[in-house]
Amino acid sequence: MKKKISEESTRLEAILAPHRSIALDALTDIMIEALDELAGYLNTDEFIDSDGWEFDRGVCGFRQEQLEKVFLSGGGERLLHWVAGMKEQERLLLLMAFLNWDRLRMNDFRARYPNSFLKWTSADDESLLEMYSSGNSWRTLSDHFGRNVNAIKLRLQHLGIDLGAEAGRPRFARRAD
């Protein structure tokens, strides 16, 4: 099956590519509209005081340089030309900032693993050590603690458990028949 899928990969990519392009164009149009509104807001008298205004850090997923260019564009055609003149990679980075990609990814990760990035309690540590020594699978440990398998492994190593070769492979891996 793997061979068949890899052989078809080029054909499948050819089917998906135009749809991705259409979606990317639509998202870019939405982003430009939102950035135009942002540029208008940034250039209002309410926002800029008499001493001028300076970006000192990023805001809402945008880097300082990106916000400055939106501000300096003033919106409209200048904003459109700025975005159109970007290299594809720069435009994708701007789009990712617009979508606040890091936050979307974090929310997705937290939806799958609700305890991600939360501090481990001593009760969690005790339970983890007990469950690990009882031979529970990585999946069981992951589901029980609401954390991904790598977080479980890192915590066990932090607690002094030497996982050895087990650190790089799934526990109780399926046997080839």
The two three-digit tokens of residue 46, written as one number: 């309410």
Domain count, the chain: 2
**pLDDT tops 60 at residue 70:** yes
- Given this model, what pLDDT does residue 57 score? 63
pTM above 0.85, yes or no: no
- Given this model, what pLDDT does residue 132 score? 94
Domain span at 99: 2-111
Calculate the average pLDDT of the chain.
82
Structural domain contains residue 27: yes
Q: Report CA-CA distances (Å) from 38 to 2, 17, 60, 62.
A: 47, 31, 12, 12
Pair 14, 101 in one domain: yes
Pair 56, 140 in one domain: no
**pLDDT (average), residues 35-64:** 71
**pLDDT (average), residues 10-39:** 87
Structural domain contains residue 148: yes
Pair 157, 94 in one domain: no
- Of 50-54, 91-95, 159-163, 164-168, the poorest mean pLDDT is in 50-54
**pLDDT (average), residues 120-131:** 96
Confidence of residue 176 (pLDDT cuts 50, 70, 90): very low
Structural domain contains residue 26: yes
Structural domain contains residue 138: yes
Pair 137, 107 in one domain: no
Residue 97: φ, ψ to 5°: -65, -40
Pair 137, 159 in one domain: yes
Structural domain contains residue 140: yes
Pair 161, 106 in one domain: no
Taking the C-alpha atoms of residue 137 and residue 135, their distance in angstroms, rounded to an integer, is 6
**pLDDT tops 70 at residue 158:** yes
- Taking a C-beta distance cutoff of 8 angstroms, is the pair 113, 148 a contact? yes
**pLDDT tops 50 at residue 54:** yes
User: What sign does the CA torsion over 33, 97, 83, 21 have?
Assistant: negative
Structural domain contains residue 158: yes
- Helix or strand run (H / E) with residue 18: helix 2-42
- Percentage above 90 pLDDT, the chain: 21
Structural domain contains residue 128: yes
- Given this model, what pLDDT does residue 135 score? 92
Pair 11, 69 in one domain: yes
